[in-house]
Structures are given as C-alpha cells and as structure tokens.
Structure 1
Amino acid sequence: MKAERRTQWLRGVLDLCILGVLYDGEYYGYAISQRLEQAGLGHIKGGTLYPLLARLEEMSLVTSRWTVRQQGPGRKYYVLTEQGRRVFEEQASDWTMFAEHVATLIYRRGE
C-alpha cells in the first residue's frame, strides 16, 4: 500500500482506532502506538498521536493520569470516559456500515 494513501485513510479514522484501543482498557501513549502498529496501521509518530490524544481529552472522550515509576520517566495513561465509550460504539457502528458500502463498490467487479 502506498504510504500517502494509507496516511490519507488514517487521517479520517485514527481517532476511532485510538478509541478502539482504549475501549479495551488503560494504556500509555507508546503502548497505544504499539497496538495500532500491531493492528496493521503502521507506525504512528508521537507528533501525530499525542495531539490527537490531547484533542480527545479536550472533547471529554478520554481522561489521563500520570504515574511515577521507580525506574525511568513517569507515564501518562489514557482511559475512555463513559462519553468516550458511547461515542466509540456509535462511530464504530457508523464506520462498519460505511466500510460495507464501500466494499460493495470495490468487490462488484465483473458483474
């Protein structure tokens, strides 16, 4: 897949993907990035991820907390709010329906 196409597609759905990661529990930024990469979305740079997390927090979809570690720097953990859970469920449903409509156009070849 061409990088610029992937970037364009991600721009429209990355916030939903982050909410999906956080739907499973509390994660710090690097762990969110790893989960997204493991899901096949490629490496998401911190310059993309952290502003998006800040925006989701401003929208009251996630909250965060700092933890102090005995070794290494502290970590900022993110978790969905109840509103974030509702928004994720609604948007996930909308995305699924949209993706199905797109799939009907893509896979109709040869009819």
Structure 2
Amino acid sequence: MQPGDRERSPLAQMRRGVVEYCVLALLGKRERYAVELVQVLARHGLIAGEGTVYPLLSRLRRQGLVETTWQESAAGPPRRYYRLSDEGAAAVGRFAQDWASLSESVDRIIGGEDGQA
C-alpha cells in the first residue's frame, strides 16, 4: 500500500456508492447523453473517466431506472440520450431521504456528538 492509499480508499468507495444516484439525479433535471454525464461527474470529482459511466448506464437501463432514445447530432453520428424513468425518480427520492439521514448522523458523530445524554 502506497502512502496516502489508506486515506483515498474510503473516499473511492463512497464515490462508487453515490455515482449511480448522482447520474439518476442529473437525468431527473433533463435528458442527457453519456458524454455530458461524464463531464459533469468528472468536474465534481466523482469519476476519473468514461469507463465508469457506460457500464453504469447500461445497468440502469436494464433495471428500468432510465429510458433511452436516439437523436440525430449536428456534430456527428446519432447519440443515445438518457432520461429518468418513473422507477428511477422513485429511487432518487428514496436515496435523497436516506442520504439526508445518513449524512446528518455522520456529521453529528464527526462533530463530537455521541447521542448520550
């Protein structure tokens, strides 16, 4: 293990756990194609490259959380656009509630509160 790996490992695991829901949340705002998603996620430091997003989008499509359409592009071949399905919207809603509860608990503990009176 290299110096610093121990510190990065938990962060990498957390990123992997939330990227799926970040993709769903982004698609809840408007439909997008994969490259747009890669750019937003990379800009926020959630992924390093495209290798994470394409398999994720395929899995989300198979699970019925996103729907796709092909649209012509003025800049090249047609693009596959992704949009949130009703099931995906429900999943994002559940995650948002769970995230709020989890992050509140972690913030309290990190802030020194242990829940004892």
TM-score using structure 1 length: 0.85
Alignment partner, residue 66 of structure 1: 70
Alignment partner, residue 19 of structure 1: 24
Tell me how far 1:94 sits from its aligned partner.
0.6
Note the residue ranges of structure 1 that are not aligned, 5 or more in a row: none
Aligned partners of 2:47 and 2:22: how far apart in 1?
Answer: 13
Match of 1:96 among 77, 96, 100: 100
Tell me the secondary structure at the aligned position of residue 77 of structure 2: coil
% same residue: 32
Q: Is the 8 A contact 2:23 2:37 kept in 1?
A: yes
Tell me how far 1:70 sits from its aligned partner.
3.4
What do you get for the CA RMSD once the two structures are aligned?
Answer: 1.9
Give every structure 1 segment of 4 or more consecutive aligned residues whose post-TM-superposition deviation is greater than 4 Å.
none
Note the residue ranges of structure 2 that are not aligned, 5 or more in a row: none
Aligned partners of 1:7 and 1:73: how far apart in 2?
Answer: 34
Tell me the secondary structure at the aligned position of residue 76 of structure 2: coil
Alignment partner, residue 81 of structure 1: 85
